[in-house]
Amino acid sequence: MNKRDLYKNIKKKRSYLCVGLDSDLKKIPKHLLKYEDPIFEFNKIIIDATSDYVIAYKPNLAFYEYLGASGFNSLKKTLDYIPENIFKIADAKRGDIGNTSEMYAKTYFESLNFDAITLSPYMGYDSIQPYLKYKNKWVILLALTSNQGSKDFQKYNNFFLEVINKSKEWVSNQNLMYVVGANNEKDIIKIRNLVPNYFLLVPGIGAQGGSLENISKLGFTSDCGLLVNNSRNIIYADSSENFEIKINDKVKSIQVKMESLLKKYNLL
Amino acid sequence: MNKRDLYKNIKKKRSYLCVGLDSDLKKIPKHLLKYEDPIFEFNKIIIDATSDYVIAYKPNLAFYEYLGASGFNSLKKTLDYIPENIFKIADAKRGDIGNTSEMYAKTYFESLNFDAITLSPYMGYDSIQPYLKYKNKWVILLALTSNQGSKDFQKYNNFFLEVINKSKEWVSNQNLMYVVGANNEKDIIKIRNLVPNYFLLVPGIGAQGGSLENISKLGFTSDCGLLVNNSRNIIYADSSENFEIKINDKVKSIQVKMESLLKKYNLL
């Protein structure tokens, strides 16, 4: 998916919500465990309940790897089930030398047909380069994450700014986004100074203390420029037999807020 | 495996060689493709040909993920096949927030019974912490890698030294090693000043220009302190029907060199 189509979808759905599919056998509603593939069953219901209000889905690969061969199959079925025109992000946080990155790129961009993959910048340009030869596919580079540990290295001498400053020279805003935690409001201003037209994937709204209003105000660009992620708050909002009702209510209410923010900043 | 037993194995086998199992359907000898699981068949022959001379095996997970569910099964069978007392490293280069790292730790330390996993430091302490509750299991943190891109961020203001300096306060040398490329000879002196008693996992000998003699001279500690990795140079040394003969010759010759270096520095 290219940047123009991404914004087109945002305007059409009046939403910039990404839902994280961190699907965990221990946390999904118990009645699903009777199915042959409970993870896929869960994802299917989540997708049905949310796809009208969602711009992107982001399965975190750790949750599928944990289940071994069957997890891989659940992931593949889930990807096939996601409707056309929804952006699919492999939350992989990989980063490896060239020939290895090439294998990962083939796996996630070709075999599984993801639109984007999250990567760690630590190993530098040649660890990212193999992903860039795919047209309309995206690298989403970790810049400033929302966890406590972001202080250890990312914020050390504002290292995250160097990551952005260097990597934006390598890749245009048509193929590169950055992960920026919603709890880093002050830093978003610095980041927007460096990359006024790159999309940001923003975790950390809600549980981790970020405010949707503030992040939108600080992060919006002329084509929205934000994908705001929410995982556990949405997918585990309820565990009853009719859990899809509450989840549907939840994403609808987020979409309503997002619509009013998009309107407020003249983005519709 | 604990540090004492690791050194015990090194002394017994007179070797500090790690063999990377970057097993790729396109590169393995053609006659293996007739088997139901060619990757496992290849790994089995490599292990039989090398295990007497090898301290560690390091499957790079990208190569198994690429094959989807069947790749996972090949990996599992390979791990079960590796003889007791050989150190098993998951070359994963993961790095994620706490609850996700926990899933990875369970996958690689519990389900697959690896002894160690390579991790990226970028997300900080809480991305590493979940791996540390496993006794006799190891985190191998990327510090200074052997690829060209290591210049981009790792060497920027000697950032790799900060990674080592901070992380050594979190974890003792009983559970933490560092990845340090063999082509960074000058930097190994700086690293040994910071961590005189931590093991280093060293890629980059041979093809990438590192010298076994120099790296051993600069990196040895009182309990060896080095695992020197070699992947493609060994496992793809030959593609004939009897490829195991050349591979066996190759690891034997490396072991002989390593033995003479261990002797030279009084480590046997």
Best CA proximity match to B152, nearest among A212, A125, A53, A36: A125
Query: Does position A254 have pLDDT exceeding 70, yes or no?
Result: yes
pLDDT at A204: 85
% of chain A with per-residue pLDDT over 90: 96
What residues contact residue B211 under an 8 Å CB cut-off, 6+ apart? B182, B185, B205
Identify the pLDDT of residue A27. 97
Summarize pLDDT for A26-63 with one digit per residue, the tens.
Answer: 999 999 999 999 999 999 999 999 999 999 999 999 99
Q: B205: pLDDT confidence band, cut at 50, 70 and 90? A: confident
Mean pLDDT of B66-94: 97
The residues of A assigned a catalytic role are 93
Question: Smallest Cβ distance to B103: which of A62, A99, A107?
Answer: A62
Q: Determine the Cα–Cα distance for residues B255 and B17; give it in Å rounded to an integer.
A: 7
Tally Cβ neighbours within 10 Å of residue B185. 16
* A95-136 residue pLDDT tens: 999 999 999 999 999 999 999 999 999 999 999 999 999 999
ipTM of the complex: 0.96
**pLDDT 10s digits, B131-148:** 999 999 999 999 999 999
B104 close contact with A: CB closer than 8 A: yes
* Structure-token match 């690896």, residue found: B114
Give the model's pLDDT for residue B25: 96
Residue B47 pLDDT exceeds 90: yes
Using DSSP's 3-state secondary structure scheme, residue B70 falls into helix
Domain spanning B3-264: CATH superfamily: Aldolase class I (3.20.20.70)
Identify the residue with better confidence: A196 or A208: A196
Chain A hits for B80, Cβ within 8 Å:
none
**pLDDT per residue over A106-115, tens digit each?**
999 999 999 9
Query: Using an 8 Å Cβ cutoff, are B5 and B220 in contact?
Result: no
Whether the pLDDT of residue A209 is over 80: the answer is: no
% of chain A residues with pLDDT over 70: 99
- Say if residue A206's pLDDT is above 80: no
Within 8 A of A66 by CB-CB distance, chain B residues are 103-104, 106-107, 111
| pLDDT beyond 90 at B210 | no
When pLDDT is cut at 50, 70 and 90, the band that residue B206 belongs to is: confident
- Specify burial of residue A30 (Cβ count, 10 A radius: 0-12, 13-18, 19+): exposed
Catalytic residue among B76, B77, B93, B217: B93
Percent of chain B with pLDDT over 70: 99
Q: Measuring CA to CA, which residue among B176, B262, B250, B263 is closest to residue B219?
A: B262
Q: Is B93 a catalytic residue?
A: yes
Q: Show me where the domains of chain B are located.
A: 3-264
Q: Which of residues 1-60 of B touch A (CB under 8 A)?
A: 22, 24, 60
Q: Measured between CB atoms, which of A93, A106, A124 is closest to B150?
A: A124
Q: Whose CA is closest to B217, among B260, B165, B174?
A: B260
CATH topology (fold) of A3-72+144-172+180-264: TIM Barrel (3.20.20)
To the nearest whole angstrom, how far is the Cα of B260 from the nearest Cα of chain A?
31
Contacts of B125 in chain A (CB under 8 A): 148-149, 152
Residue A27 C-alpha, separation from nearest chain B C-alpha, in angstroms: 13
What pLDDT score was predicted for residue A207? 65
Q: Closest approach of chain A CAs to the CA of B153, in angstroms?
A: 6
| In chain B, residues 119-138 whose CB comes closer than 8 Å to chain A | 120-128
